[in-house]
Amino acid sequence: KQEVTQIPAALSVPEGENLVLNCSFTDSAIYNLQWFRQDPGKGLTSLLLIQSSQREQTSGRLNASLDKSSGRSTLYIAASQPGDSATYLCAVQGGSEKLVFGKGTKLTVNP
Amino acid sequence: GAVVSQHPSRVICKSGTSVKIECRSLDFQATTMFWYRQFPKQSLMLMATSNEGSKATYEQGVEKDKFLINHASLTLSTLTVTSAHPEDSSFYICSARDRRARNWYEQYFGPGTRLTVT
């Protein structure tokens, strides 16, 4: 059974700092890994999707890496802003459409 | 494009009553919709997968007679929580897959419904 763990559970940083969020998964037989953003009481916004054959994906100030063999992914956020404050979810997908999520990292960026 | 809506956004009901949550794809047709549940400080957990015109497939441990799913059209799926109990209080999120999507794995998420059972 696939399990996804995210560390840390919460993170508070001053504005402008670079930061890294971590995600690990137990079964390396994944098709892809996604990072989502969830704002309080709201749905999910897909940030980055990494196929199992890829090592990383970049979008603006966000960079996600994937080490499939070790079951790890990181989300790097450069020059953090207060607007980045949200919960970040990591999810993996095997051969089916089912997404298995971690519990998330709650990020607070202080002005 | 690819907007998914949910109604209501918040609902409070009394224990023992039933409540229906709607999930709509606004600008695309969804052959498949997914229902997730998220308890506080817990991960999103898939409850069931619904395909238009057929019975939903439930994940292990989810009671199909308690959580009734109907996917009667290509733009609407409903989740009915029957005989709700306080432990059913949770955040329910749906997602939908565009039947014309190039990639099978793409899902678009709704904003969620906060259910509180008193």
Mean pLDDT of B94-98: 92
Among partner residues A41, A93, A101, which is closest to B44 by beta-carbon distance? A101
pLDDT digits (tens, 9 = 90+) for A51-99: 999 999 999 999 999 999 999 999 999 999 999 999 999 999 987 778 9
Look at residue A54 in the predicted model and tell me its pLDDT: 94
For B101, residues 6+ apart whose C-beta sits below 8 A from its C-beta are none
- Chain A: residue nearest B60 by CA? A1
Q: What is the DSSP letter of B27?
A: S
Average pLDDT of chain A is 94
Distance of alpha carbon A30 from alpha carbon A36, whole angstroms:
17
A100 pLDDT tier (thresholds 50, 70, 90)? very high
Residue window 18-37, chain B: list those with CB within 8 Å of chain A: 32, 34
Cβ–Cβ contact A95 with B under 8 A: no
Find the helix or strand (DSSP H, E) in which B49 lies. Answer: strand B45-51
- Region B44-66: mean pLDDT is 92
Report yes or no: B25 and B7 within 8 Å, Cβ to Cβ.
no
Query: Using CA atoms, how far apart are residues A93 and A32, in angstroms rounded to an integer?
Result: 5
Kindly determine whether residue B111 and residue A4, on different chains, have CB atoms separated by under 8 Å.
Answer: no
Which of B4, B41, B97 is the closest to A103 by Cβ?
Answer: B41
B15: tokens are: 């224990």
Q: CB of A97 within 8 A of CB of B49? A: yes
Residue B1 scores a pLDDT above 70: no
Q: Do A44 and B46 touch (CB under 8 A)?
A: no
Chain A hits for B91, Cβ within 8 Å = 41
Residue A21 CB neighbours (<10 A): 22
Whose tokens are 């929580």? That residue is: B81
Average predicted confidence (pLDDT) for chain B: 92
**What pLDDT, on a 0 to 100 scale, did the predictor assign at position B15?**
97
Average pLDDT over residues B60-70: 94
Judge residue B44's burial from the number of C-beta atoms within 10 Å of its C-beta, 0-12 exposed, 13-18 middle, 19 or more buried.
buried
Q: Could you give the CA distance from residue B94 to residue A81 in angstroms, rounded to a whole number? A: 29
Q: Which of B42, B91, B110 sits opposite A103 (nearest CB)?
A: B42
Give the least confident one: A22-26, A62-66, B78-82, B105-109: B105-109
Average pLDDT of B43-47?
94
